[in-house]
């Protein structure tokens, strides 16, 4: 073996200095040399196996009539039965519609608002105002959705809510609107809450990308007499295009993974037809009613669609532009 030849080439006096003679192969020796590195990583590899990989084993539940009391080999296998039930359930289709609607709206808003905000903030010339505005803008990111949902409900409230107060004040409406009780407003409320909470924070990445654009480009444009608006259009926007593309691909891949925090916290019994999303549906019908197999089938549907979306979008972008994520 190569390792042995190396050892034999070492003069005898140096070899005796090694307390333990080489035992086993090269791997074992390097393992010993790097035992601290292994000790620092192995526990977390085991951790990742348990908490990230082991749940995948739970996917088998979706193809069984899972009963918690039984062992794995005693479960009754039912094939795709749960998936068939899923696709014929109108509640599921409603949840799918709501998920796609809210994530689609969130995707568009999550792209337009942070980019616009970053570009505008970049045009602010007063240093202290710029810093102040930026600091204020990411304040809401740090509060939980519980707090944010409470604030949104308060602001939109029919009693002393600021939005209704303003609308009444300017004579736009005669009676307060019960925003939180109207299903058709729910998607918009979720999207606007998201914009309020995350625009400033998400703008950080675009601000960093803008900062990376060479100042000589703006200098040249100024000499050519380009207006500020034209500079934004011809320099800033193209400059941050790679960043936009990567973030767009990432968010499309997560289209179905919008979770249910916002919908759970902002929703109520009056608006379920619009607030029910896939994860909430799996929580309610899977966990709530102890139909674990059925709930798992929903989770699988979610993951599979997400992966397909991610690869499709990535492929499209790879072909049309040079930027891609994977």
Which tokens in the block code for residue 185?
A: 């407003």
What is d(CA 172, CA 11) in angstroms, rounded to the nearest whole number? 94
The answer to the question of residue 173 lying near another protein (CB under 8 A) is no
The answer to the question of residue 18 lying near another protein (CB under 8 A) is no
Stretch that binds another protein, among 14-22, 92-100, 298-306, 316-324 (CB under 8 A): 298-306
What is d(CA 65, CA 292) in angstroms, rounded to the nearest whole number? 9
What is d(CA 45, CA 23) in angstroms, rounded to the nearest whole number? 27
* Residues 324 and 248: beta-carbon distance below 8 Å: no
Q: How many CB atoms lie within 10 A of CB 3?
A: 15
Q: Rounded to the nearest whole angstrom, what is the least distance from the CB of residue 72 to another protein in the complex?
A: 12
- Binding another protein (rule: CB under 8 A), the pick from 112, 208, 289, 316 is 208
The answer to the question of residue 99 lying near another protein (CB under 8 A) is no
Residue nearer to another protein on the CB measure, 107 or 155: 155
- Binding another protein (rule: CB under 8 A), the pick from 102, 200, 251, 277 is 200
* Residues 137 and 117: beta-carbon distance below 8 Å: yes
Residue nearer to another protein on the CB measure, 35 or 84: 35
Q: Which of residues 273-292 bind another protein (CB under 8 A)?
A: 279, 282-283, 286-287, 292
Residue nearer to another protein on the CB measure, 12 or 286: 286
Site string for another protein, 239-268 (x = CB under 8 A): ----x---x-------------x---x-xx
Query: Residue 24 region, left (φ>0) first, then alpha (ψ -120 to 50), else beta?
Result: left
Q: What are phi and psi of 257, to 5 degrees?
A: -90, 45
Residue nearer to another protein on the CB measure, 10 or 287: 287
Residue nearer to another protein on the CB measure, 12 or 275: 275
* Residues 241 and 213: beta-carbon distance below 8 Å: no
Q: Rounded to the nearest whole angstrom, what is the least distance from the CB of residue 94 to another protein in the complex?
A: 19
Residues near 38 by beta carbon (within 8 Å), at least 6 away in sequence = 31
């Amino acid at each position: 073996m190569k390792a042995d030849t190396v050892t034999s080439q070492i003069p005898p006096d140096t070899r005796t200095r090694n307390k333990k003679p080489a035992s086993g192969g090269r791997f074992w020796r390097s393992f010993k040399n790097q035992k601290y590195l292994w000790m620092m990583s192995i526990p977390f590899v085991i951790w990742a196996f348990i908490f990230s990989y082991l749940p995948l084993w739970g996917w088998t539940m979706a193809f069984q009539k899972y009963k918690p009391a039984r062992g794995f080999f005693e479960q009754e296998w039912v094939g795709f039965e749960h998936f068939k039930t899923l696709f014929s359930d109108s509640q599921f289709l409603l949840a799918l519609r709501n998920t796609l609607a809210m994530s689609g709206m969130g995707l568009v808003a999550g792209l337009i608002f942070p980019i616009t905000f970053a570009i505008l903030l970049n045009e602010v010339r007063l240093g202290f105002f710029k810093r102040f505005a930026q600091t204020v803008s990411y304040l809401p990111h740090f509060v939980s959705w519980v707090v944010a949902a409470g604030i949104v409900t308060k602001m939109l409230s029919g009693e002393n809510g600021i939005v209704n107060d303003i609308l009444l004040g300017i004579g736009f409406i005669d009676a307060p609107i019960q925003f939180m009780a109207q299903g058709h407003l729910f998607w918009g409320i979720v999207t606007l809450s998201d914009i309020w909470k995350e625009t400033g924070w998400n703008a950080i990445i675009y601000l960093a990308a803008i900062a990376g654009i060479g100042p000589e480009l703006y200098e040249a444009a100024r000499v050519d007499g380009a207006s500020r608006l034209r500079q934004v259009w011809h320099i800033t926007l193209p400059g941050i295009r790679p960043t936009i593309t990567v973030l767009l691909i990432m968010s499309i891949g997560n289209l179905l993974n919008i979770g249910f925090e916002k919908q759970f916290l902002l929703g109520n019994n009056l608006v379920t037809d619009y607030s029910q999303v896939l994860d909430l549906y799996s929580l309610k019908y899977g966990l709530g009613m102890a139909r674990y197999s059925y709930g798992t089938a929903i989770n699988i549907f979610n993951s599979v669609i997400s992966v397909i979306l991610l690869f499709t979008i990535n492929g499209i972008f790879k072909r049309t532009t040079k930027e891609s994520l994977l």
